[in-house]
Amino acid sequence: MTFAWYGNFKLREMYPSVRDWPLFAVILLSWGLAFFEYCVAVPANRIGHHDLGGPYNLMQLKVLQESISLIVFICIVRLVFQSEPLHWNHIISLLCIVLAVFFAFLK
């Protein structure tokens, strides 16, 4: 989802012809990219949910999904969008998310 949502910025930079695409075309491209993530995320949630034999409840699945999304986002920003700085407050925010995962899984 990260690349589906934010990758169009890099595409505009890499391919000038993309700058002229209408918003509808960019949305279709993003949906096409996001489709593959959903093909992985939906089964993972079904497998992980306790009603279907998994170990996690809905809150745990959501907190885990959000934290993974943000970690992937940070990695993509650092690799693809190298002009975006990573500041101390971003690191503190990530640590707060890690704490959220800890507390969500606390018995």
Summarised one tens digit per residue, pLDDT across range 23-35 is 898 888 888 888 8
Residues whose CB falls within 8 Å of the CB of residue 3, separated by 6 or more in sequence, listed in order? 33, 76, 80
Q: What is the pLDDT of residue 46?
A: 92
Gap between the Cα atoms of 80 and 11, Å rounded: 11
Site of tokens 């990219």: 33
Q: Write the pLDDT tens digit of every residue in 54-77.
A: 999 999 999 988 888 888 888 888
- Do 58 and 34 form a contact (C-beta atoms < 8 A)? no
* Chain-centroid distance, C-alpha 70: 6
Q: Categorize the per-residue pLDDT at 1 as very low, low, confident or very high, splitting at 50, 70 and 90.
A: low
Phi, psi of 49 (to 5 degrees): -75, 140
pLDDT of residue 50: 93
Length of the chain: 107
> Which residues have C-beta within 8 Å of that of residue 52, sequence separation ≥ 6?
46
